[in-house]
Chain A
Amino acid sequence: MRLCLTLLLLALVLCCTSAQAIDPLPFKDRTEELRFQLLTKQLRCPLCQNESLADSQAGVAKDLRQKVFAMMQAGQSDEQIKTFLTDRYSNFVLYDPPLQGGTLLLWFGPLAALVAGGFALLLIVRRRARQTVVSSTTAPEEDW
């Protein structure tokens, strides 16, 4: 029974790994396949923007995967392929957009929010601390 279950699990795992590639492409070896998967995971599908090129079922994503594959076959580097795509679809296709004027907010927005939040927290804590000192001498009229 236990063996059965193990085998079943193993089969499932194997199934899943082999089903990773959505459309089978004739890779010449495993290294090329891994490079393709790594590259398409870093690229965003322009149509369904919360999916990577590797995962998306959209028609355009399929075409772009074919294009990326063809460019790899033609000996183009990852950088050349990315440039090809950004020339046509802008930086939106990159999950890791370059640091430039238009992406400053994207890069430093979270940090700015964190700093602002921390500052606000500090102010509130300080004020509360002062209030507790005062209210410990006079009875608090309301508690909320």
Chain B
Amino acid sequence: MIEMNKRFLLQAAVAVLALAAIAGCGEKQAPKPAEAPKAEAKAAPAPPPKPEPLKAAWVYVGPVGDAGWTFAHDNGRKAAEAEFGDKIKTSFVEKVPEGADAERVFRDLATQGNKIIFATSFGYMEPMLKVAGEFPDVKFEHATGYKTAPNMRIYDSSFYQDAYLAGIIAGKMSKTGTIGFVGSFPIPEVLRNINAFTLGAQTVNPKIKTKVVWVSTWFDPPKEGEAAQSLINGGADVLLQNTDSTAVLQTAEKNGKYAFGWDSDMSAFAPKAHLASAIVDWSGYYKKAIKDVMENTWKTERTVWGVKEGANDLIKIADVIPEEIRKKVQEIKDGMKAGTFEVFSGPIMGNDGKERLAKDIKADQAWKDKVDFYVKGIDGKIPSAK
């Protein structure tokens, strides 16, 4: 009998543990409830037939936090909310894993009456495509992907422009002549950034070398820090990263080297090491997309914005950077704004000695989508993505 009781207690205890774990997960994935009651309270005492607010939802891959990729998207959401006021009602779901869970979240959001849904990570592409087919009346927007549908379109930014500007600074600030890059995955987007960073640095110091270390993750601070440490140990003294945490910057600070912020202003995390922050501002696009739905002008297309449209910028340029370099960065930035300056202008040589872009030719979007090489000046080979 005592044995039975013990077994029962065990089962109860394990069940409680399991439930607590599940409850912990559930809480994060539910849309923020804070917004819902506010809107209801507004709707109740309004007898005149006011038009229903347009419901828009965002799906984030990480927590919003204080810095980084998801933080930047959420700032865009807030800007859209401020722009349209009570004409729209926004909500977001954070920390949605890429894969089967995402599909469920998209379906839930569509069923809840959202008319436009933004998916802010590459891995949401297939799940979103599937759900888009089931809800023809809902508009789906996917960041950084390449597949579209009649009611699903894609948008992207031009981070490589920021990386190029950062490169100009890195080329000047590097004393060892070696700069480092902590890469996430060897996809065209990241390779564009590494190449642009190197090309930018070469405009100041033609002999500069870039070392690259891949961490196979978007977000793993200890690993990003270890990768940064090994780059520094290998002689790199200015670092840039394509991962989302502040670990690379903090590792540079610890070692008395330089690095850049990525995605959002990270100057506070490393006052001495921080040279500038490459940022992305999605608010313009989010306003446009919601306006398209409101005015029935939404159509499937691909939008790539950059410095010209105010989507990308290099901000908080540190005081240690010499005046001539600041001027140079500003000049190039002005060229990007005017649309006259193209980062990838021929001749561009691969580090295998092959010419990748002929002289006097400016790269088009198709070329940029297929970048699969290191430019001259980068050490090593790209790990095969097979």
Q: A and B from one assembly?
A: no
- Which residue numbers of B lie inside 8 Å of A, CB to CB? none
